[in-house]
Structure 1
Amino acid sequence: MSHPDIFQKELETAFGALLQASKLSQLIISSQDKGTITKDDFSPVTIADFAIQALLISTFKDAFPEDTFVGEEDAADLRANEALMSRVWDLLNTIAQDEDTQRGACKLPQTKDQMCDLIDQAGTSHPGGAGSGRVWVFDPIDGTKTYLRGELYAINIGLIVDGKQTLGVVGCPNLSLHHKGPLRNSDIDPEGKGCIVYAIKGHGAFARSLQSGSQDVKQLPKQPATRDLSFVTCTGLVDSALDGVHEVVAERLGVAFPGSDLVPWVLRWAAMALGIGNTTVWVYKRRDRFAKSWDHSGAMLLYEETGGKITDVHGKDIDLSAGRKLSANFGFVAAPVAAHDKVLQAVHDVLKEQGRDAFLQ
């Protein structure tokens, strides 16, 4: 089947860009030196993060010059380190003569300065609310920690229009479209094909192979109202999650924990859209910690379009107009619509019983 005949240019642009971005990421995945630096929040970033963000912005700016672009990275580290900048530039140019690049799958920057300017443009822009128009949000590699280990990661492209998710396209370069059962970071596609999961607001969610010319599009089914709950979470981010809460919530709900255990947030939303789990809860370790727009914008739409409901820990809708950080919300509670109230109540009950009422304020 095929998706509805809307957003055709946007989707074709995203599919081509994701194919080439995946090639870039895979080119250095086996390299001993991935050009890794550590950001102020102690999260790693590689030359692939910079190269893919430059590719995405260059491609989408060429296709949609009037739109706004938001990305995770800025180019300050590249401008301060000529050797690092050259490595990013060289990586981009490895696909310059690629057959898919030549046929227009992506648009590459023409100079190093342009590359840095494009990265900076998205690295300093902010999503907006009503009247802000079309804003593309990019996460060049979500799950850099797992990517560095040769495990699962994702590339996120989200289109927000006037502060609302409209389109979400997620590239999963090493996730099998046919994976069954709980998913772990190490469960890479044995066939090496990867997949794309995407959604159009009001028209459903779809999945297809990552490969060029793929025609195997399938519409993803809605979450069954009577299906048992199945968790998707992450047990390895001890610096992010409030300890001793998530497993207790799962126990209260009678759900196996951890279920699917994944570091990348984008991949968690994609996995739930694919039916690999249907519930996630996330209470941050600190009340002043907030999610980042590029980890969720567009990707959440995948799950919502398969019948999921997403709020924060307080039961509020996620406000994507808040800025680069989702500072109007705290944490996440996501479950099938029919079960969401029950899951949210379990979170509140556990926090109150543990004397952690401050996280509900």
Structure 2
Amino acid sequence: MSAAFALEKQVAVSAVLRACQLTSAVFKNLVTKETVTKKDKSPVTVADYAAQAVINTIITAAFPKDPIVGEEDASDLRSPTSDDAALLRERVTTLANDVLTPPPSEEERAEWGLGFGRTTTELLAAIDRGNYAGGRTGRMWALDPIDGTKGFLRGGQYAVCLALLVDSVVQVGVMGCPNLPVDPSNPSGETGCLFVAVRGQGAQQRPFSSFQSTTLRIPPSPSLSDVQFLESVEAAHSSHGFNARVASTLGVTAQPNRMDSQAKYCSLSRGAGNVYLRMPTGQGYREKIWDHASGSLLVEEAGGIVSDSLGRPLDFGLGRTLGENFGVVAAGKDIHSKIIEAIQAVKAEESEKLTSGL
């Protein structure tokens, strides 16, 4: 009897690996004019669009009835009067077809939409397949074609992230990290890692260069003073100051490891860091489901716990965001509750200062 979600896992692995091939090729040839700016001022590259086009094309071919919640849409590419949009459309089409047209490998199937190219119109439609609003019931995929765009642009960490949710529960998570060292103890060695998790079936890592997988288990946490926090590089994405106060409350003296993207979940799952703490810098911010779906399952299947800052499970059934979940805390089971207690202590101190006018 085949394992649950075996086909979905195969398709997701194929889609993510082909998208990672694309993003790596773009980085090697990136030029400034291929970068546009979204309304929230975060950079979006031609690789975001092309990677989403590739993954959505493969998912749609394999599972035509499944909706997709994707980060990007093709509105900026559709401008009929913009020379920049015309250039982007041309580049997206070329890049996407470069990785869609090679014939299926032994691990892939032709019915996944592989082995032939698509028109620009078809690829723009594929990008816009990611406009699903999300919801509580049914199947849906959550996609971030490049999580950590600024990391991608600077040659740092980024991840191609894809997850399958059924009735708002993450069942399959696949992440490709082209710049993450295969061996965390050898940062100058081979890079390019694929992380795969299926609910109830554990978490694995394999290098891009082979099919040999390693089972991931979060090791016991060190003494509190040696606990290492995993944080975002960008202070605008997560409050470094709040994290520092939590670390101080716990007696942590180790310096945090800062990297972009869900690569932090990947690092945590293999013991390269002990706590991923992400506290928004503003009360109005809502986390997007594609930023946490695949990573949260990976950590859970590696033996950890992922919650919001109050210890509540992340709720993926409220649409495209995590709704009222505030903050994200991921850690091993032996330390997670201590992190939550420290967060609440720091919040109480902040509240007292505000009340007293200090």
| Contact map agreement 1:232 1:258 (CA 8 A) in 2 | yes
Give the letter for the 2:281 counterpart.
K
| Contact map agreement 1:232 1:272 (CA 8 A) in 2 | no
Judged with a 3 Å threshold, the aligned counterparts in structure 2 of structure 1 residues 263 and 215 are, in CA distance, closer, same or farther, namely: closer
Q: In the alignment, what sits opposite 1:39?
A: 38
Give the letter for the 2:182 counterpart.
L
Deviation at 1:273, TM superposition (A): 0.8
| Contact map agreement 1:282 1:332 (CA 8 A) in 2 | yes
Give the letter for the 2:195 counterpart.
V
Deviation at 1:225, TM superposition (A): 6.6
Deviation at 1:251, TM superposition (A): 1.8
Deviation at 1:231, TM superposition (A): 3.0
Q: Mean alpha-carbon deviation: is it higher for 317-326 or for 99-108?
A: 99-108
Give the letter for the 1:65 counterpart.
P
The match for 1:255 among 229, 235, 252 is: 252
Q: In the alignment, what sits opposite 1:184?
A: none
| Contact map agreement 1:164 1:320 (CA 8 A) in 2 | yes
The match for 2:18 among 14, 17, 20 is: 20
C-alpha distance in structure 2 between counterparts of 1:338 and 1:32, whole Å: 43
Unaligned runs of 5+ in 1: 182-186
Deviation at 1:217, TM superposition (A): 1.2
Deviations 1:144-165 (A, max 9, x none): 1011111221100101100001
Deviation at 1:356, TM superposition (A): 7.1
Deviation at 1:340, TM superposition (A): 1.8
After TM superposition, the structure 1 = structure 2 runs for residues 1-361 of structure 1, keeping only pairs within 5 Å, are: 5-33=3-31, 35-80=34-79, 81-98=85-102, 104=110, 107=114, 110-122=118-130, 124-129=131-136, 132-180=137-185, 190-192=189-191, 194-211=192-209, 214-224=210-220, 230-234=227-231, 236-242=233-239, 244-264=241-261, 266-355=262-351
| SS state at 2:334 partner | helix
Deviations 1:45-92 (A, max 9, x none): 101100010100100111111211111000000101222111111112
| Contact map agreement 1:208 1:217 (CA 8 A) in 2 | yes
| Contact map agreement 2:35 2:44 (CA 8 A) in 1 | yes
Q: Give runs of ≥4 in structure 1 deviating > 4 Å.
A: 99-106, 225-229
| Contact map agreement 1:30 1:150 (CA 8 A) in 2 | no
TM-score by length of 2: 0.88
C-alpha distance in structure 2 between counterparts of 1:227 and 1:7, whole Å: 38
| Contact map agreement 1:156 1:171 (CA 8 A) in 2 | yes
| Contact map agreement 2:182 2:189 (CA 8 A) in 1 | no
Deviation at 1:305, TM superposition (A): 1.1
What RMSD in Å do the two structures reach over aligned CA positions?
2.4
- Counting aligned pairs with the same residue, the percent is 34
Unaligned runs of 5+ in 2: 80-84
| Contact map agreement 2:218 2:332 (CA 8 A) in 1 | no
| SS state at 2:57 partner | helix
Deviations 1:11-30 (A, max 9, x none): 22122222211111111212
Deviations 1:289-342 (A, max 9, x none): 111111111211111111211211122211011111212211112222232221
Give the letter for the 1:177 counterpart.
V
Deviation at 1:242, TM superposition (A): 3.2
| Contact map agreement 2:100 2:117 (CA 8 A) in 1 | no
Q: Between Structure 1 and Structure 2, how many residues are aligned?
A: 342
| Contact map agreement 1:158 1:298 (CA 8 A) in 2 | yes
C-alpha distance in structure 2 between counterparts of 1:306 and 1:279, whole Å: 14
Judged with a 3 Å threshold, the aligned counterparts in structure 2 of structure 1 residues 95 and 235 are, in CA distance, closer, same or farther, namely: closer
Deviations 1:250-301 (A, max 9, x none): 122122454321121x111111111111212222111111111111112111
Judged with a 3 Å threshold, the aligned counterparts in structure 2 of structure 1 residues 357 and 128 are, in CA distance, closer, same or farther, namely: farther
C-alpha distance in structure 2 between counterparts of 1:227 and 1:216, whole Å: 33
